[in-house]
Structure 1
């Protein structure tokens, strides 16, 4: 008997098939039985409950398929979402995340925090086109060896029927050539559209300025002359300007080209060195101040906020904006007759994306991210991205490939989007700044909608509300957890 046949009959374990092989192929002329596809399953488990449950299944001689690779972590609250993505990238066909039952956490509330994070992360993966049939969540206690056995058997058999996960990051099924993203035109590699021009539906430039611009200049002149502030962060003809002298306030403008979110400069060391600032904000920009103060990144007492009533700048975000007048500014200039749109209008573009099959959503994003050059403009213009050293810049270990590869690009945009969960205020500066014209707004909308629908939470609206990710509720839904 050959060594291959002896191993096959002696152990009862069929040889593991590599990805891409036919699960039912026969070896012609050899008489060897068909090679069955054996899935690779990665399980991220809690050290205190699920791991002990798996250990109990072993010590009590419960049989289950040997396809699962266990990765033990202290708590489900410590399972980084990047690990799920990385598992699929290195060849996993399914992923299992399992921890203690609610109320039984060794660290009191780790699984409650994990549950909230996974509710949001599942929504993001679904929008990106991941096969959600391959991602599983369970609660398994240290006494539930039988449940571990059942779960592993079920996942293994289900994955075996689905076959290898070969569609990850693949442009396998082209999405329609007309989608309501970025002005109704799909961004394809051969159809570069660049950043949005911000003109469609905007108030004409001739209708701006006037009293609003004059009042802004006078206000800033007064603040500087009375030494109430040391620098004014405002809009100039060609971009942001930093005014330190009363005589320079004529450089300030207010028109439909005032697109930037100026709150991003409040965290810059160079600006802090100038002294107490005044910052010009629109209604949407002001939400960033609320979030930053919640996260102890600034103190509103240390600045002066000048709010400008906004008629809309013609960007896609303006069509669904419902905060046209700043609510917490120290003084507000101007007024507007704009009314808040219907709530359903905010999700139109996202609903069009979600109406596509998962394979087409994956193809859409693979096509979009293929153009990403890793310039990190989206990070630099975001007021919520203020880490001293971004995770993507760390190389010990290298969490995300810094080169513009399929894996590196997907990992970066997943990381960026999820780090903004419950924090993104919808200024859409990331989309406007992207030199490749990638509609990052859709990823932000995905998590904003999930936060609103699951937790009735909107970032930057209520200064007294608890941060979404830092809190949890016993009533958080877990219908996706077995």
Structure 2
């Protein structure tokens, strides 16, 4: 079998340059390896990373992505967007334990038939040297036994009661004056659990609570067909929640004329064991940097947030950063085994999607069947497809609120993936999510001088 095996390569190419270059190679009678199957798209900017994932899932040993040279794009700038996506995507593949050389990116013009032939030969040789992609093979290595890094965390402390009273007073005044029709905050159930609460009258505002159990990111309720997606609304936000609000503003999902943000100074919420939540140990912004009303920890109310500082980095704790570094340092096979063990526990309940404030698509890619972007099923193949698709979807957008990890019934470490991608985006693209409402999301823009030393 080893003597007869040949790599299977899928090439996603733009119609106007690379496909014409491949056609020129044929009409010029250039000989090159027959291992490549070409899929033609209008532009390299239309080559979604999900296409590459799908090709690998369906048995491809390698993928070649090619488009026009910068400045020659038929659609002006599609190849610039493709270049940015590839930077993030290839870094993620490496972190998952998949050899980056299996996915290659190149510029090939319509006049470069010779370059196309050489590119195919080089790609086939590289993938042949790597051998078959055993992503879904039964011969997978056992996952490494890693002892979790548990930092010493103090017990959480309840906020000053005056802050809760000030919140109720502020909400009551907003509702009574007609400034808003609904206040989204926190309430207490008959069992004492703190849950999201919707106050639509001054009387209901008296039921609002504020304590160290207010863990939910309430900006989730501001999009789609959710209760607070229409009308004049006020929503209670912590520092991490305000970062999500920034993301929604950037993407045109939150109208600041309609939504008022009640910022709460927060010194950490508690995990299920009563300690300060891991995400809070890394928080550098205890006061929301974006709000209309700020309620300080002593109960004082400010109509400005000038005292707040703008976040400068992704809120990953030292323990989380250590986990990222430890997994990145594992041998490639063990990295893949780790993620196979981790993601295979997914039961596809989509709790991570439901609680994420930035997952607001009307029809999720996981629910589409024509075409089917995400492989169904709870096996490793389906879990890989969903886990990686979601990681890419929120890459450069995740604000580190930690809701996905809190909601996951299987305890899958999605935060490790997102912290890694946040570091890649910050290092390569100079962007930190949830900081500047005026900035464009990193994968929705580009710089002409973006790194391209990886492009053939």
User: Normalised by the size of structure 1, how large is the TM-score?
Assistant: 0.84
Find the counterpart in structure 1 of residue 296 from structure 2: 334
Bigger shift: residues 287-296 or 268-277:
268-277
Q: 414, 435, 443: which is aligned to 2:417?
A: 443
Q: Give the one of 212, 215, 223 matched to 2:163.
A: 212
Q: Distance in 2 between matches of 1:118 and 1:268?
A: 30
Q: 1:135 to 1:268 in 2, by over 3 A?
A: closer
User: Contact conserved, 1:217 with 1:250, CA < 8 A, in 2?
Assistant: yes
Aligned length: 433
Is contact 1:282-1:309 (8 Å) kept?
Answer: yes
Does residue 327 of structure 2 align to residue 353 of structure 1?
Answer: yes
Distance 1:341 1:453, change over 3 A: closer
> CA 1:279/1:179 → structure 2, altered by over 3 Å: closer, same or farther?
same
1:53 aligns with 2:21: yes
Query: Deviations along 1:219-272, whole A, 9 cap, x unmatched?
Result: 212222222222211112321111122223332222221111000011253524
Contact 2:264 2:294 survives alignment (8 Å): yes
Match of 1:103 among 71, 79, 83: 71
Bigger radius of gyration, 1 or 2?
Answer: 1
What SS is found at the alignment partner of 1:353? helix
Mapped contact 1:209–1:253 kept (Cα < 8 A): no
What is the 5 A alignment of 1:292-303? 292-303=248-259
Q: How does 1:108-257 map to 2 (within 5 A)?
A: 108-168=76-136, 172-180=140-148, 183=150, 201=153, 203-205=155-157, 207-237=158-188, 238=193, 239-257=195-213
- In structure 2, how many angstroms separate the alpha carbons of the residues matched to 1:225 and 1:453? 48
Report the counterpart of residue 304 of structure 2 in structure 1. Answer: none
Q: For 1:409-459, what per-residue CA distance to the aligned partner results, in whole angstroms no more than 9, with x for missing partners?
A: 111111111111221111111111001110111121122111111111111
Separation in structure 1 between the aligned mates of residue 234 and residue 131 of structure 2, nearest angstrom: 59
- Correspondence for 1:372: 346
Residues 297-344 of structure 1, C-alpha deviations (whole Å, 9 max, x = no match): 121111221101111222221122222111221111124999989989
So what's the TM-score if we normalise by structure 2? 0.89
8 Å contact kept, 2:134–2:140? no
* Equivalent position to 2:287, from 320, 325, 349: 325
- Structure 1 residues 103 and 407, CA, compared in 2 at 3 Å: closer, same or farther? same
Report the counterpart of residue 235 of structure 2 in structure 1: 279
Instruction: Indicate how the Cα distance of structure 1 residues 170 and 180 shifts in structure 2: closer, same or farther if over 3 A, else same.
Output: farther
Question: Could you tell me which residue of structure 2 aligns to residue 16 of structure 1?
Answer: none
Structure 2 CA distance for partners of 1:272 and 1:341, relative to 1, 3 Å: closer
Shift of 1:72: 1.1
Partner SS for 2:198: strand
Which range is displaced more, 379-388 or 320-329? 320-329
Verify the 8 A CA contact 2:45 2:81 in the aligned structure 1: yes
Contact residue 41 and residue 94 of structure 1 kept, 8 A: yes
Aligned match of 1:78: 46
Distance 1:273 1:267 in 2: 5
Cα offset, 1:370, TM superposition? 1.4
Return the offset for 1:180: 4.2
Alignment RMSD (CA, Å): 2.4
Closer, same or farther in 2 for the Cα pair 1:299/1:167, shift >3 Å?
closer
